[in-house]
């Protein structure tokens, strides 16, 4: 609306003029309704978006391990991802001392207290145990958010010889070669197809082992405490995580180890598997 101001200066009456004085004000006031309907539509859309949750594309797609080849002896398109899980095995004392070395961690479920029979017959304490891989958006525990979880059941994996009674049998050991065929539970990463909702291509992987025998999780780290000078005071951001990188164009992923010597080393291959070691809490 436009404002107008009129100044009135009274003058002596003019001889011969009678009646009220009229002044014509030629103010143009057109009514243009063009675009009003469009404005109403925009307003309606804004109100609806404020009233209900917006529509986000949360479609997921299956990401597989990027093929690798380490030497001329390896298959040219090897797509397997390889894990090794080490349990702490102390013959005399379950606690870690200054003399504890990396030899105290072994790839053997029996170091966790299982018997040959429990493993071979998939008894409940073993059958209900599993490895839990959690993927975060960062390494700082005070600010990170969990985005994804992958379960690797103990029933998968390679085998080793064991004796039950007078018979030699094959029992599972915590060493996995996951691929498109065979043992494939935990091989694929199911993640968002596009980056509209979460624009992130790097996840940080931690590991816990659920021990059904005690009903608790045991945390694992990417190095043995026996290799550390201070076995309980160390950088959790360095030793509790691996780095997983996603490629939105090829739908492939890779896993890297960050350490203090090299910036990044690709792991998950047969010669450089992803190694997790049981963390012994003091």
- E strand spans, the chain: 60-65, 81-88, 105-106, 130-136, 146-153, 159-164, 167-172, 175-178, 189-192, 202-211, 216-221, 242-247, 252-257, 265-267, 274-278
What single DSSP character describes residue 227? G
**Per-residue pLDDT in tens (0 to 9) along the chain, 282 residues:** 566 666 666 666 655 555 556 666 666 655 555 556 667 777 777 777 777 766 666 788 999 999 987 665 655 679 999 999 999 987 656 678 777 888 889 999 999 999 999 999 999 999 999 999 999 999 998 899 999 999 999 999 999 999 999 999 999 999 999 999 999 999 999 998 888 888 899 999 999 999 999 999 999 999 999 888 888 888 899 999 999 999 999 999 999 998 655 567 899 999 999 999 999 987
* Residue 129, number of CB atoms within 10 A of its CB: 21
The rounded distance, in Å, linking the Cα atoms of 172 and 108 is 8
The rounded distance, in Å, linking the Cα atoms of 165 and 121 is 14
Identify the CA nearest to 228 among candidates 185, 190, 279, 265.
279
* 214 token code pair: 């005690």
Q: Is 123 helix (H, G, I), strand (E, B) or coil?
A: coil
* 225 token code pair: 């405490």
Residues 6+ apart with CB under 8 A from 182: none
What distance lies between CA 274 and its chain's CA centroid?
Answer: 17
pTM over 0.85: no
């Amino acid at each position: 609306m436009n404002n107008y101001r009129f100044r009135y200066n009274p003058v002596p009456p003019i001889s011969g003029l009678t009646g009220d004085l009229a002044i014509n004000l030629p103010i143009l006031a057109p009514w243009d309704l063009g675009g009003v309907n469009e404005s109403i539509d925009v307003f309606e859309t804004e109100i609806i978006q404020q009233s209900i949750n917006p529509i986000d594309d949360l479609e997921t797609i299956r990401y597989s391990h990027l093929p690798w080849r380490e030497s001329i002896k390896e298959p040219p398109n090897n797509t397997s991802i390889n894990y090794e899980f080490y349990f702490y095995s102390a013959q005399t004392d379950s606690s870690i001392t200054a003399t504890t070395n990396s030899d105290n961690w072994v790839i053997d479920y029996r170091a966790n207290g299982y018997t040959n029979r429990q493993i071979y017959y998939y008894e409940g304490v073993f059958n209900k145990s599993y490895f839990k891989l959690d993927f975060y958006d960062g390494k700082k525990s005070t600010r990170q958010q969990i985005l994804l979880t992958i379960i690797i059941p103990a029933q998968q994996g390679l085998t080793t010889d064991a004796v039950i009674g007078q018979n030699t049998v094959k029992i599972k050991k915590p060493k996995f070669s996951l691929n498109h065929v065979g043992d494939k539970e935990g091989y694929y990463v199911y993640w968002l197809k596009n980056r509209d909702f979460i624009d992130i291509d790097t996840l940080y992987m931690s590991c816990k082992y659920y021990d059904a025998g005690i009903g608790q999780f045991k945390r694992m780290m990417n190095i043995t405490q026996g290799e550390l000078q201070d076995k309980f005071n160390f950088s959790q951001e360095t030793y509790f995580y691996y780095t997983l990188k996603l490629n939105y164009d090829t739908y492939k992923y890779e896993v890297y180890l960050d350490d203090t010597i090299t910036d990044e080393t690709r792991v998950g291959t047969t010669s450089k598997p992803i190694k997790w070691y049981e963390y012994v809490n003091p």
